[in-house]
Amino acid sequence: MAKQEQEVRIGFYVCHCGTNIAAMVDCPEVAQFVGTLPGVVLSKDYKYMCSDPGQELIQQDIREHRLNRVVVASCSPLLHEPTFRSATEKGGLNQFYFHMVNIREHDSWVHTDRAEATSKAKALAQAAVHRVAHHKPLETKRVSINPTTLVVGAGIAGIHAAMTIANSGKKVILVEREPTIGGHMAKFDKTFPTLDCAACILTPKMSDVGSHENIQVLSYSEVTKVDGFVGNYTVTVKRKPRYIDEEACIGCQDCIPACVFKQPKFADEFNEGLGKRRPVYIPFPQATPQIVAIDPNTCLNFKKGEDGGRVVSDKCKKTCVEACGDKNAIDFTQVERIEEYEVGSVIVATGFQTFDARRAPAYGYGRFPNVYTSLEIERLVNASGPTGGHVVMRDGKSEPRSVGIIHCVGSRDKKTNVWCSRVCCMYSMKLAHLLKEHTGAEIYNFYIDVRTPGKGYEEFYNKLLDEGVHFIRGRVGEVTDWAMTPDEEGKLVIRVEDTLAGYVRRIPVDMVVLATGLEPQQDAQDVRRMFNMSCGSEGFFLERHPKLAPVNTFNDGIYIAGACQGPKDIPDTVAQAGAAAAEVLALIDKGFVEQEPNTAFILEDECSGCKSCIPLCPYTAILFDEGKGRAYINEALCKGCGTCVGSCPSGSIVQNLFDDEEIFSEIEGVLAYE
Amino acid sequence: MSKEWKPRLVAFFCNWCTYTAADLAGVSRLKYAPNVRVIRLMCSGRIDPQFILEALTKGADGVLIGGCHPNDCHYVEGNYKMLRRFQLLKRMLGDMGIEPERVRLEWISAAEGEKVRRVVNEMTEQIANLGPLGMPGRFAEWDREVESLAAQIEAREGGGCGCGSSGAETAEKEVAHV
Amino acid sequence: MSKPKVAFYWCASCGGCEETVVDLAEDILGVVEKVDICLWPVAMDFKYKDIEAMADKSIVATLLNGAIRTSEQEELAVLLRRKSQYLIAYGACAQLGGIPALANQFPREQILRFNYEECPALDNPGKVRPQVSLQDNGRNPHLPEFRNVVRTLDQVVDVDYYIPGCPPTPALTRAAFDALLSGNLPPKGSVIAPDVALCDECDRKATKPTNVAFTEFVRPHQKLADPELCFLAQGMVCMGPATRSGCGAACTSGNMPCTGCFGPTSRVRDQGAKILSSLCANIEAKDEAGINETLRGIPDPVGTFYRYGLAKSLLRRRVDLNMTGGGH
């Protein structure tokens, strides 16, 4: 090695972070102690190291005191490591001559004894001082960004994000697992608090997406695999067979009435089962794409195959094919296709599912026909819904004269989901308004708290009060059909402790609406793993930082938007989708990312060629050079986990930023302070 | 030792799950025992058993390893590799007289700040009950056996011209072999 | 001009290292021609007092084999250190502790009790144990003290070079002599052997697949080893990947897996931890039960991974043993 051993000159800085650190850690004492350590040229404490003057201080000291190493003890490196690396670089040093000590998240915020916390800060600082002496100058690698973006989920979040990106001239691949895009919002009647019609806002956007030259919509499709890294992902998409040639179908829908089933007979998923559809169907009139789908589970031309799946039986008269005529769009032989797409970034906008009301059995959903979920009522009051907007009960005739709306079903409950679903108060009041408007019925809202923290939301609540909608404060105990008085006969009785009036009440109503909460999608965990994201304890996708990086994930190039990150209403969802699109565009416009140079490499002369490391690499980055009889690492594929390094039996693999000597010195340093 | 002994734990946390969970514990202002010192690695798969031994010999009373839950590793399966090493290392440390409670592996996801708190507190208490491992002290004690001889020799040879006096002494002494 | 003086000495060892010197065969004559052997207990009669009488540093090099277990060995190590310009730890025991250092798993008292009282092949009805000194007909003989801890040479005195192996090969020994006599010496502290692991020179290297995933481990007595296939590919623990080369792959050529006598490479602090890390990471099972099932094939990890290196390992000795002869 021809490297000249330069004298190590360390500058150490401990940040007060206002009082965040200084209140629990004696910062001047830490600075004084570190100043006595070998190699430390100067040691300072400062109020806010991350501020401009703080960063300037580092730069100035590097120049004036010929520092060649910098250590900052402040917050988590996950927060400000880039900041201080940059300051180090601006001071004229290689940015990796820097090391950061976490004395806020890992120390001052979690301990209660000032002396102990100060000792800990000293130990951690000493470790960094030991470690940084071994640091080597490294270069970041630039990786170019593929300008195409994948958006997963085409609800309002996915649609808005896709449109924003596509409008800037960048390509978007929009994947939706249902036959149509639109998500939950397409099912809503009106939106709160303005009561403008959901379809009027959404459907033009949907058709814009469908016809946008920069957006490729892959409906009825699911992402099954993601490989690669920021800027260069390869995604595998499963295209489920809809038995329609998407290119040939012109959306005339002539096949639907031509079906051998004269009447729609099967539960219509889009209408929450309240309506019926034929085996060949389009979810709703404005569906995008305007392409029908054939459900092989109900279509007579299919039968059960040996493996339990559906196979073509060719038993049906195929009147639909006849109706389609020479367009020849119907293709019963279609099978699942697997396609691969190359993208640079991904926005995950997979939305939510509503709480299954059967999990709150006391409320009688599934037992009493006239107990509805809020989503069913959305369809029932909708002019394009199964009853054309005519609110009738399950008998199909009678209108309700009284309706009870139970808030917080599945939310704010230790037995089910503890979180507040954020939208239920507002949509319950919206439904109250719509039901009253449609039927003139008496409406009772049963709430724990009314939560209206949004623009115009409190005003909407006041409006409802003015309209004579009843609000009863109390968590409903049960819904029963057991009448105790003649006027309860034939009614659903809501038993509740009215906590304002201070007694238990029985309210008989014709119809009960359950304001079911929002929860993570059933397969959120699979999606999380696929995109290498994290989930919070409740199962929603975890943002990198709630304030500093709310749409970023821990995986670079993967962003989140909408209710998959947590319950939120449409305005917030759209705002977040816009934010995610902005992050993506910033990435694309920059054109490259700097990769953390924490890759591993094999010392060629030292490797014995034992091949033990090769099967350990999940990215097949380690290859064997038969000629030399040595293994080597393809740096472009290495993601820097260091598993091979920890496993190399002869110590012949080195990981940049985490080499053995750096870690050994950190271990020794962390234990050196008594 | 005049100072009151307190357990010292060294923790190796993976960047993506457990380190982030420890950050979350901080952000959530959860309070836990101040005995743990965290060293960040990108993945639990990077944790070389040498690091664990080194920490113990340099004075740690316990070592805590934190990684992502099975199936959740940011690097696909680094955590399994650590789990496999851990299984044998634990047995080997037992054979070397180190109590099993001193080295602990926990899967802690980025959302489990609370688990960081619980595990650190539990482990601190367990190790406080076990008492110090004190490897540096043991090494020093073992080495005194040799130092006493060196001192003896020095004392013996310091007296005269070296060769003469020692020669005289060994002349009286019968030695087992040669 | 007088020939340079060279000393050979043995401590806690089996004598195998001495055999290597003898195995230099014809070459020994060349060595003897060039040097003046001033101490070689196994072959020649010299007295300690002759050495003590020598001026400090008057021996060019001492090749000392064996671990350090008794006070006499310590004393000689100190003496030879003082009298020699270069002190060379010769062989695995002096370098790493070797087989004798496996005794660092047991308390001194247990060892003495077994060897002087319990060993089935023993004839010692009086259960007499060696004493450090005794009075016998007016004589006062001294015996060396049996220490609590087995040590490497460099845990007792400063060492200049290491020649590894159990035993070292004649070739390495010759190379060391050549270097010494020519004055063309490597940096102090060097191990005189290639700093690459054994696989580099093992004939079986090419037969190792790149996708080994262990489902079981077997020991050499449990299976007839394929004479050509990499032992790891056969599920046999082979220390080769974690052990220095330089032996010419003697064991693997003889259809026995490497047991690690050449010690780790310079980049490794603990040979056992490293081979453990590598073998375990490559186990196929992902669940604890499955992993432990596979690991049943390694019933004695300390004896397997630290067969020669326990004294030099990071832990050095079973940690709960005390220094008063008793133990856990």
Order of strands across the sheet that contains B62-67: B36-41, B9-14, B62-67, B103-107
- Within 42-71 of B, beta carbons closer than 8 Å to A belong to 42-43, 45-48, 50-51, 54-55, 58-60, 71
What tokens does B16 get?
């993506």
CA distance A309 to A361: 33
| Antiparallel, parallel or unpaired: β B62-67 and C5-10 | unpaired
- pLDDT at residue C76, as a whole number: 94
Confidence of residue C68 (pLDDT cuts 50, 70, 90): very high
Q: For residue C288, tell me if it sits in a domain.
A: yes
- For A413, phi then psi, to 5°, come to -140, 125
| Low-confidence winner among B119-123, C21-25, C94-98, C193-197 (lowest mean pLDDT) | C21-25
pLDDT at residue number A256: 94
Q: What is the value of pTM for the model shown?
A: 0.83
Q: Do C315 and B172 touch (CB under 8 A)?
A: no
**A401-438: buried (b, 16+ CB within 10 Å) or exposed (e) per residue?**
ebbbbbbbbbbbbeebbebbbbbbbbbbbbbbbbbbeb
Which of A606, A612, A671 to mutate to probe the C interface, most C CBs <10 Å? A612
Instruction: Give domain status of residue C136, yes or no.
Output: no
Q: Which chain A residues are within 8 Å of B26, Cβ to Cβ?
A: 76, 104-106, 109-110
Check CB contact under 8 Å for C286 and B54.
no
Q: Assign residue C58 the CATH number of its domain.
A: 3.40.50.700
User: What ranges make up the beta strands (E) of C5-126?
Assistant: 5-10, 36-39, 59-65, 68-70, 84-90
Can you tell me the distance from the alpha carbon of C43 to that of A301, in angstroms, rounded to the nearest whole number? 98
Q: How many domains does chain C have?
A: 2
> How far is A14 from A4, CA to CA, in rounded Å?
30
Contact B48 A109 (CB under 8 A): no
Spatial distance between the Cα atoms of A331 and A244, rounded to a whole number of angstroms: 5
How much is the pLDDT for B164?
A: 36
Please check whether residue A612 touches B, CB under 8 A: no
Residue A2 pLDDT grade (very low, low, confident, very high; cuts 50, 70, 90): very low
As a whole number, mean pLDDT of residues A48-62 equals 96
Contact residues on chain B for A102, CB-CB shorter than 8 A? 23, 38
Q: pLDDT tens digits, residue range A208-259?
A: 999 999 999 999 999 999 988 899 999 999 999 999 999 999 989 999 999 9
Q: Does A648 touch chain C (CB under 8 A)?
A: yes
Instruction: Tell me what the mean pLDDT of segment A125-140 comes to.
Output: 96
In the predicted model, what is the mean pLDDT of residues A110-132? 97
Q: What are the residues whose beta carbons fall under 8 Å from the beta carbon of A572, sequence distance 6 or more?
A: none
> Under an 8 A CB cutoff, do B37 and A127 touch?
yes
- CB–CB contacts below 8 A, A to C: 86
- Name the nearest CA neighbour of A361 among A413, A311, A436: A413
pLDDT of residue B173: 42
C24 lies in the same domain as C172 = yes
In a domain, C51, yes or no: yes
Topology given in CATH for the domain delimited by A600-656 = Alpha-Beta Plaits (3.30.70)
Is C304 a member of any domain? no
- Contact residues, chain A, for C269 at CB < 8 Å: 664
Interface residue B138 vs chain C (CB under 8 A) = yes
Please tell me if the domain spanning A10-138+667-672 has the same topology as the one spanning A353-519.
no
Radius of gyration of chain B (CA): 24
Q: Which of C139, C144, C298 sits opposite B88 (nearest CB)?
A: C298
Q: Among 3.40.50.720, 3.50.50.60, 3.30.70.60, 3.90.280.10, name the CATH number for the domain at A353-519.
A: 3.50.50.60
What's C183's DSSP letter? T
Q: Is the pLDDT of residue A323 over 90?
A: yes
Backbone angles phi, psi at C145, to 5 degrees: -85, 135
Q: Are residues C11 and C81 in the same domain?
A: yes
Judgement on whether residues C54 and C173 belong to the same structural domain of the protein:
yes
**Which of C10, C156, C276 has the most B C-beta neighbours within 10 Å, making it the best mutation to test the interface with B?**
C276
- CA-nearest residue of chain C to A615? C211
CB contact under 8 Å between A606 and C241, yes or no, is no
A547 at interface of B, judged by CB pairs closer than 8 A: no
Average pLDDT score over residue span C25-35: 75
CA A55, A61, A66, A67 dihedral sign is negative
Question: What pLDDT is recorded for position B177?
Answer: 40
Q: What b-and-e string marks burial along A41-66, b requiring 16 or more CB atoms within 10 Å of the CB?
A: bbbbbbeebbeeebbebbbebbeeee
Q: Enumerate the β-bridge partners of residue A594.
A: A142
The residues near C221 (Cβ < 8 Å, ≥ 6 apart) are: none
CA distance C322 to chain B (A): 8
Written as one string, the DSSP assignment of C220-274 is GGGS---SSS-TGGGTB---GGGSB--S-SHHHHTT-----TT---TT-S-HHHH
pLDDT at C205 over 80: yes
Tell me what the mean pLDDT of segment C9-32 comes to: 84
Query: What is the number of other CB atoms lying within 10 angstroms of the CB of residue A481?
Result: 16
pLDDT at B165 over 70: no
In the predicted structure, residue A567 carries a pLDDT above the cut 80: yes
Of the given ranges (A304-308, A428-432, C128-132, C245-249), which has the lowest mean pLDDT?
A304-308
- What value, to the nearest 5°, has the Cα angle with vertex B67 and ends B65 and B70? 130
Which of C315, C318, C322, C328 is the best residue to mutate to test the B interface, defined by the most B CB atoms within 10 Å of its own CB?
Answer: C315
Q: Is B110 on the interface with A (CB under 8 A)?
A: yes
Are B178 and C47 inside 8 Å of each other by CB? yes
| CB within 8 Å: A658 and B41 | yes
Mutation target vs C (from A647, A650, A664, A668; most C CBs, 10 A cutoff): A650
pLDDT in tens, B6-41: 999 999 999 999 999 999 999 999 999 999 999 999
Structural domain containing residue C202:
198-297
Q: Which of B26, B42, B55 sits opposite A104 (nearest CB)?
A: B26
Q: Does A651 contact C267 at a Cβ distance shorter than 8 Å?
A: yes
Map out the domains of chain B with their CATH numbers. 9-132 (3.40.50.960), 137-177 (no CATH)
Percent share of chain B, pLDDT over 90? 72
Question: C-alpha angle A593/A598/A599, rounded to 5°?
Answer: 95
Q: Which of B83, B85, B95 sits opposite C276 (nearest CB)?
A: B85
pLDDT-derived band at A471, boundaries 50, 70, 90: very high
As a whole number, mean pLDDT of residues C272-285 equals 98
Banded pLDDT at C25 (limits 50, 70, 90): low
DSSP string covering B9-38: EEEEEETTTHHHHHHHHHHTT----TTEEE
Per-residue pLDDT of B48-60, as tens digits, reads 999 999 999 999 9
Q: What is the pLDDT, as a whole number, of residue C45?
A: 86
pLDDT band at C1 (very low <50, low <70, confident <90, very high): low
CB pairs under 8 A between A and B: 140
From residue C148, alpha-carbon distances to A344, C75, C262 in Å are 64, 16, 25
Interface membership of A643 toward C (CB under 8 Å): yes
Same domain, C55 and C177: yes
Cα separation of A57 and A44, whole Å?
10
Q: What's the pLDDT score for residue C3?
A: 86
C252 contacts C297 by C-beta, under 8 angstroms = no
DSSP string over A326-344: GG--B-TT---EEEEEEES
- Cβ–Cβ gap C210/A611 under 8 Å: yes
Distances (CA, A) of A547 to A49, A67, A555: 19, 34, 17
Q: Does A652 touch chain C (CB under 8 A)?
A: yes
Write down which chains contact chain C via at least 3 CB pairs under 8 A.
Answer: A, B
Average pLDDT (A66-84) is: 96
Average model confidence (pLDDT) across chain C:
92
Say yes or no: C175 and C40 in one domain: yes
Predicted pLDDT at B171: 38
In this structure, the answer to whether residues C90 and C165 fall within a common structural domain is yes
pLDDT of res. B158: 56
Better-scored residue on pLDDT, C284 or A1? C284
Smallest Cβ distance to C199: which of A610, A647, A664?
A610
* Statement to judge: residues C59 and C21 lie in one domain: yes
pLDDT band at C42 (very low <50, low <70, confident <90, very high): confident
Q: Do A650 and C211 touch (CB under 8 A)?
A: no
Q: What letter would DSSP give residue B47?
A: -
The domain spans of chain A are: 10-138+667-672, 149-240+337-348, 255-327, 353-519, 600-656
- C24 and C157 share a domain? yes
Cβ–Cβ under 8 Å, residues A441 and A435: yes
Position A579, amino acid? A
Segment B157-175 mean pLDDT: 42
Q: How far is A636 from chain C (nearest CA, A)?
A: 20
Work out the percent of chain A whose per-residue pLDDT is above 70: 99
Per-residue pLDDT, averaged over A292-300, amounts to 93
The mean pLDDT of chain A is 95
From A114, which residue of chain B is nearest by alpha-carbon distance?
A: B34
What pairs with residue A70 in β-bridges? A11, A98
Query: What's the rounded mean pLDDT across residues C133-137?
Result: 84
Q: Determine, yes or no, domain membership for C80.
A: yes
pLDDT band of B157, cuts 50, 70, 90: low
Tell how far CA C106 is from the center of its chain.
18
C86, amino acid identity: Y
Fold of A149-240+337-348: FAD/NAD(P)-binding domain (3.50.50)
Q: Residue A145: pLDDT above 70?
A: yes
Cα separation, A644 vs A658, in Å, equals: 12
What residues contact A60, with CB distance under 8 A and at least 6 apart?
A91
Higher pLDDT, A269 or B165: A269
Whether A41 has its CB under 8 Å from any CB of chain B: the answer is no
Choosing among 3.40.50, 2.60.120, 3.30.70, 3.90.15, the CATH entry for A10-138+667-672 is: 3.40.50
Q: Is B99 on the interface with A (CB under 8 A)?
A: no
C153 and C238 within one domain: no
pLDDT at C135: 84
- Test C212 with A612 for CB contact under 8 angstroms: yes
- Please tell me the predicted confidence (pLDDT) of residue B7: 96
Q: Are A100 and A666 in contact (CB under 8 A)?
A: no
CB–CB contact A534 B54 (8 Å)? no
